[in-house]
Amino acid sequence: MKPINLSFSACGFLGIYHLGAASALRRHGRKLLEDVEAFAGASGGSLVASVLLTAPEKIEECKEFVFAFAEETRSQVFGAVTPGYDFMARLRREVESVLPPDAHEQAHSRLHVSVSNTKTRENVLVSSFSSREDLIQVLLASSFVPLFAGLKPVQHRGQRWVDGGLTDSLPILPVGRTVTVSPFSGRSDISPQDKGQLNLRLTVANQDLTLSMANLVRLRQALFPPRKTGLESLHRRGFQDAVRFLRQEDWFE
């Protein structure tokens, strides 16, 4: 049997969709998760992948954090770019509170985090973590959207890194089958299925997307989160889409 990998796309505040999918996988996809050899992700997707791998019992806590973080960001005069508001510091505190002390050991060779090198503009999948702090730095680098999250890229191992979604928004690992999760409709295994759309597609940073008004709305929501009711709807959608996939693949239980 070929190895199974699980990859979560870049998503911004649409990480709430990923958390819905992760909740469904924990509840109804144990057979799949038992077979997953490696996890991957870009930007917010890497955060969800890291939690599902190292602290799956914290998925619900992460959902509540996204609700609070989104509301906090919305309350700022200019959102995340409001002078004096440290978006990345707020994100770091949550990552530090969720990841267990041995997260880097659990993630070593099993978690592949997409980051973009600011000098070469090339993508790198990082899967080696020397310490918990090293893992946290890589996750923050993958989530750093220039200007939106600040002006200074994350420094790691002597180089500067930014959002992995800019160069590879949905990592596909070379060995085995990679099950993909995306809050944007397209060809991902777990994703929304928009109805009544023309079959027009485009590829953005290696991710295949449907060219639709619904995806344009989702792109805006990724950077400028909707109110809690909208986030709750996205979470349910992620859960439902994951359940549909599990049933199709005979992994549902």
241 is catalytic: no
Point out the catalytic residue in the list 9, 23, 142, 163.
163
43 is catalytic: yes
* Nearest-angstrom CA–CA distance, 116 and 242: 28
* Closest residue by Cα to residue 210 from 234, 190, 187, 189: 187
**What is the DSSP pairing of strand 154-156 with strand 123-126?**
unpaired
**115 pairs with which residues across the strands?**
124, 163
**160 pairs with which residues across the strands?**
155
Angle between helices 59-75 and 87-98 (to 10 degrees): 170
Phi, psi angles (nearest 5°) of residue 30: -60, -35
Point out the catalytic residue in the list 7, 9, 23, 43.
43
Active site residues: 43, 163
